[in-house]
Structure 1
Amino acid sequence: MTPLLLISRYALILVPAVASMYLQKYSAYGTYVFFILLLVWIAELRRITRLKSAWMLLLEIGFGAWLSYQYDGILFMLFYSTLLSYVHYVNKHLCYYFISIQLLLLNLSLHGQPASYYVMANLIFIAQSMLLLHMRQIDQNREEVELLYDQLRRQHYELDEARMQLMDYAKQVENIAQTDERNRISRDIHDDLGHKLIRLKMMMEASLRILPTQQSKGLEMLTSVKDQLTESMELLRTTVRRLKPDEDSLQTYSLERLIADLTKENGIAIEVQITGMPYVLYPSLAFILYRNAQEAITNAIRHGSASKVDIQLTYDPKQITMCVSNNGNLPAASSAKGIGMKGMEERSKLIGGQLFVTLKGYYSVTTVLPTYR
């Protein structure tokens, strides 16, 4: 119970008790004061101990009803004090039972009082009950909202952790793939080129030994060495060529290639502005930028009838930002997002990025991706 409710609870006992002493004449004021203090003791006993059972609550309700019936005055306000003590803490169904019992005893305790007392006492009791029940519902809703917020925050942390684990796993897969490729290349060089070079060395040593005495035989062996050296050089070139992918593979998701293709096919002017020091991006980041730029430019041509598109790439130490704006027609602010725009958002959020759309002057789509360098 909050301090304000606690003060209100005991004020609703002591103030009516003192006021009734001036409104009514009692034969034994000492006995009256004793009963009032006994009611305060019962209320305090319920508060500071664990005696919060229904029987203790019924005892306080019944004793307060007896005092109101026995001593008249405005002691019917004792019901309001008891009402404050249990609405927030008793089971909801039991709460309605206790309110009904109090309302019944309130009217019984007012037997012989003027009709105005009945009306005023019942109206105040009903209004207080509805207010307290509404406050209880508000508290329950707040607790549910806090619980949902905690669950959402916990799931957000779990999602961030899963995303970081996914990025670590991608890095490990990339490292393992690179290690496997290096091992394969080293085996190829060792098995093919290495063995040939060793054999050529042995043939050259043999030719040098026999060359002074058997010149024709030595020249023949040197000619064979030269031919095999040519084969070894060709093998080395082939191995090195395999290390470097072809240009088409390198430019599959290149923005330069995208701009060249779209400019050629649609006759639209596309300008690119780069801010910051460019650095190598992970293939997944390059893929997302490529797809988002492709979708933004396609929408500008298809829906906005744009004739010019500006792409601004900003390289920051921890993130890369791509803003694609066009001079086409602006869509309505309330227009629903299409499949393409939802796909752009999903791709960006998958690795912890964000997507923003602005309609100020130009239609702009901004993609912000963390680089995890």
Structure 2
Amino acid sequence: MTKELKLLRYGLIAVPAFLSMYVQEYISYDRFTLHLLILLLLAALGGRLPARFTAAMAAAEMLYASWLCFGYGSLMALPSLAALLVYSRLGPRPLPFLLAGIHLAALNAAVMDASPLIRTWVNLVFLLAAALSFQLHSAGRGQEETLHLYDELRKKHFELDEARSRLLQFAAQVENAAQAEERVRISRQLHDDIGHRLIRVKMMMEAALHTLPSAPEAGMTMMGQVRDQLAECMDDLRFAVRRIGRGPQLEGAYALDRLLEETGRDTGIETSYTVEGMPYPLYPSLQVVLYKNAREAITNGLRHGLATSVGIKVSYSPSEVTMEVSNNGKAEMEADGSEIAEVNGDNGDDGNGAGRLSGGNHEFPLTGGGGGMGLRGMEERTRLVGGTLRVRTAYPFTVITTLPVYKQSEII
């Protein structure tokens, strides 16, 4: 019982009792005060005893208050209504109505000798009080259900925040794994490409030093070749350093249009970016996979396919997002030497790389680690988030990444 109901309950006992002392004359006010204190004691015990005694204490309180109404006048019918506030909240449901019937019968027995007006007044007051009490109880139950729903909603909110935190943590793990893979790849590039080229430059430099005294023209030609080799080494080193550097975490760091803009500015090739469907925000893990796959496909097209034009097309649908990275390279070759697609120039090559392809399979999915290291890395990243990776060998050479899109309502 709330604090407000307790104040109302004790007020129904004390206020009518004090008014009765001024309205009517009693033989012994001390005895009336003693009876009033006993009624207050019953009310106080009813709120402190275990719940299994609540119905018995409420019945004792209403019968005792009805006896006071019989002994001290009809005004004492109001203190008996205090017990109504207690047993109207008891269960099961038939019990409150049974106690209310007994209560009404006891009050009618107490005012049996009173005038019809007093009996009518007592019955009317009891019925109105009972209706208000049961209505108040229903409103209280509605408030309890509202609080329960609020607690459930807050619990779901906490679960949603926890799921979001786990998703962001998963995205960070995907990003760290991709960065670790990128660092391994760059270290291999530094060792295999730049390291071997520097060894060759050293040998050419030694040969030029021996050739210059006897054949200056041949020596100068070799020095020019050394200079060109060093320039290529410097370009490769700058490119590797740019790939090592960490940018911002997610906000704009994985924008595909920015990737194409930087690629076009650094290499001078033509780029194009197309969006189909209505774009919507993607989870960070999906952004990372799309960005890494696009960068890997562009790198392969430039380095091994000798492409002069690359393009990215992103298609949005309610259930998935598809990214197609295409280039006009005449051949796609992985760094480890495994061929992905090769244009057969002897059979109808039109000069743009659009001839017939060796093999005849123009589009195939990558499963089981097919392709070179770069394609295997793209396939592993894509499969990690539940997507698929396909390669279209028909001109232009295209790498297709398809990722499922999970809405928040589906995650909850």
Q: Per the shorter chain, which TM-score range?
A: 0.5 to 0.7
Residues 108 and 252 (structure 1 numbering): CA distance in 2 closer, same or farther, change over 3 Å? farther
How far apart are the structure 1 equivalents of 2:212 and 2:80?
A: 127
Residues 305-357 of structure 1, C-alpha deviations (whole Å, 9 max, x = no match) = xxxxxxxxxxxxxxxxxxxxxxxxxxxxxxxxxxxxxxxxx99989xxxxxxx
Aligned residue number for residue 177 of structure 1: 178
Aligned residue number for residue 335 of structure 1: none
How far apart are the structure 1 equivalents of 2:167 and 2:272?
A: 25
How far the C-alpha of 1:78 sits from its partner, in A, is 2.8
**Equivalent of residue 252 in structure 1, options 270, 273, 280:** 273
Residues 37 and 139 (structure 1 numbering): CA distance in 2 closer, same or farther, change over 3 Å? same
SS in 2 for 1:53: helix
Pairing of 1:56-95 with structure 2 (within 5 A): 56-88=57-89, 90-91=90-91, 93=93, 94-95=95-96
How far the C-alpha of 1:118 sits from its partner, in A, is 2.6
Pairing of 1:16-55 with structure 2 (within 5 A): 16-17=16-17, 30-47=30-47, 53-55=54-56
Residues 144-187 of structure 1, C-alpha deviations (whole Å, 9 max, x = no match) = 22332333234334434543553454355345434423431331
How far apart are the structure 1 equivalents of 2:233 and 2:14?
A: 105
Residues 2 and 15 (structure 1 numbering): CA distance in 2 closer, same or farther, change over 3 Å? same
* Contact 1:103–1:122 (8 Å) recurs in 2: yes
Residues 102 and 235 (structure 1 numbering): CA distance in 2 closer, same or farther, change over 3 Å? same
Find out whether 1:141 has 2:162 as its counterpart. no
* Contact 1:80–1:125 (8 Å) recurs in 2: yes
How far apart are the structure 1 equivalents of 2:41 and 2:203?
A: 112
Aligned residue number for residue 101 of structure 2: 100
How far apart are the structure 2 equivalents of 1:125 and 1:43?
A: 19
How far the C-alpha of 1:126 sits from its partner, in A, is 1.4
SS in 2 for 1:252: strand
* Contact 1:68–1:75 (8 Å) recurs in 2: yes
* Contact 1:20–1:73 (8 Å) recurs in 2: no
Aligned residue number for residue 12 of structure 2: 12
How far apart are the structure 2 equivalents of 1:112 and 1:179?
A: 97
How far apart are the structure 1 equivalents of 2:136 and 2:185?
A: 73
Residues 48 and 205 (structure 1 numbering): CA distance in 2 closer, same or farther, change over 3 Å? same
* Contact 2:208–2:220 (8 Å) recurs in 1: yes
How far the C-alpha of 1:74 sits from its partner, in A, is 2.8
SS in 1 for 2:127: helix
Amino acid at match of 1:107: N
How far apart are the structure 2 equivalents of 1:240 and 1:4?
A: 77
How far the C-alpha of 1:130 sits from its partner, in A, is 1.5
Identity of aligned residues (%): 32
How far apart are the structure 2 equivalents of 1:150 and 1:231?
A: 70
Pairing of 1:325-344 with structure 2 (within 5 A): none
* Contact 2:39–2:64 (8 Å) recurs in 1: yes
How far the C-alpha of 1:199 sits from its partner, in A, is 3.6
Residues 174-218 of structure 1, C-alpha deviations (whole Å, 9 max, x = no match) = 454344234313313421342243144235425645876xx58x9
Q: Give unpaired runs (5+ residues) of structure 2.
A: 244-258, 278-284, 291-312, 315-404
Residues 22-59 of structure 1, C-alpha deviations (whole Å, 9 max, x = no match) = 76676665544433332222223334565853222222
* Contact 1:200–1:225 (8 Å) recurs in 2: no
Residues 143 and 18 (structure 1 numbering): CA distance in 2 closer, same or farther, change over 3 Å? closer
Pairing of 1:194-209 with structure 2 (within 5 A): 194-205=195-206, 208-209=209-210
Residues 56 and 347 (structure 1 numbering): CA distance in 2 closer, same or farther, change over 3 Å? closer
How far apart are the structure 2 equivalents of 1:11 and 1:114?
A: 27
Aligned residue number for residue 253 of structure 2: none
Pairing of 1:293-332 with structure 2 (within 5 A): none
RMSD in angstroms over aligned alpha carbons? 5.1
Report the TM-score when normalising by structure 2: 0.49
